Amino acid sequence: MDHANAMRGFLALLLFLLPIDALAAGCGPDAAPAQAAAAGFNCETYRWGSGDDHTEIDESQTYNPGYKLYWGTANNNGHVTVLSDYAVQPDGSIITQTTTSSGTFVLNTCGGPPASNVWTVGQLFQFGYYAEYVGKWNATGHPGQQAGFYGLSNNWFPTSAGHPSWEIDLPDAFALEQHVTYWGAGSAQTLNNNPTVLPHLSPTVETGDKWGVLVTTTDVTWYWNDAVNGSPGKVDFSSLGGAFTAMDVYNSMQCFGIEAVVPFQNTMVSFKVWQAAPPPGPATSGGVWKMLHRR
């Protein structure tokens, strides 16, 4: 057997043995959950969890690409992230606890300098994905204080001044639910999981369940521990009078972040996103960097 044919045979065998995810350049190592794979989202485009550490956070506020998380710099309450707002644990989980009495986004997948007030770097998610958040918290004795894990969009495709912003709560630790909030003309309207209330609301004490959202062109569907959360488990857009649909959320660019207050501790165990293909690269521009979530 000549060496060329032997090498071709070896490569063919190697490709056969490799898992599909390993063949997709730019995709992360974790296999997609079944519901994500069924929607065509097999490529892990974002991963924070075991093996990650504080060096992957832009703690020096360079706003250079290559970091997984960026500090909040222009929250609605004016709080700018400081080192004491969070602590990265040896297992990769992050405990957040701020000095503010209202919710503050302390770490986000995208960011921008305070002076610019726009997204200049980081990772945003658009055109369909499955996002999975695993968190821990104890909300006992902290009524009314906002904390959770959220996505917020102020950037649209195509860009238009008439487009509102969409907020994906995954979940809200104190409202005890997963929901989408519509922000338009300075007002907010929460679109709960209709027609029935979620059967698996985030409990007062959360010890590590999987909370997921599947965003496609036709639906925004909630998941809890890989099962549809609710019946039918989809966001109902009818209260918006037919002006908007799931396609609008699909088109929005979502920056995800973890929020915390004092004295409540919110722990991000992991956050992962699967999409149809690897992202083209770090975001270089974006919408206005405002964390609007206040109810």
Interval 208-242: pLDDT, tens: 899 999 999 999 999 999 999 988 889 988 888 88
Per-residue pLDDT at 266 exceeds 90: no
Per-residue pLDDT at 171 exceeds 60: yes
Average pLDDT over residues 259-286: 74
In the prediction, which pLDDT does 189 show?
Answer: 81
Neighbours of 133 (CB within 10 A): 25
Q: Tell me, what DSSP letter sits at residue 197? A: -
Pairing state between β 266-275 and 253-260: unpaired
Closest by CA position to 102, among listed 284, 224, 237, 259: 259
Q: Is residue 44 within 8 Å of 270, Cβ to Cβ?
A: no
Task: Classify each residue of 18-45 as buried b or exposed e, where b means 16 or more C-beta atoms within 10 Å of its C-beta.
Answer: eeebeeeeebbeeebbebbeebebbbbb
- Counting beta carbons within 10 angstroms of the beta carbon of residue 204, is it exposed (0 to 12), middle (13 to 18) or buried (19 or more)? middle
Interval 56-83: pLDDT, tens: 999 998 989 999 999 887 554 457 888 9
All domains of the chain in start order, with CATH: 27-275 (2.60.120)
- Rounded Cα–Cα distance for residues 259 and 267 (Å): 10
In the block, which residue shows the tokens 């503050």?
Answer: 104
Per-residue pLDDT at 290 exceeds 50: no
In the prediction, which pLDDT does 164 show?
Answer: 75
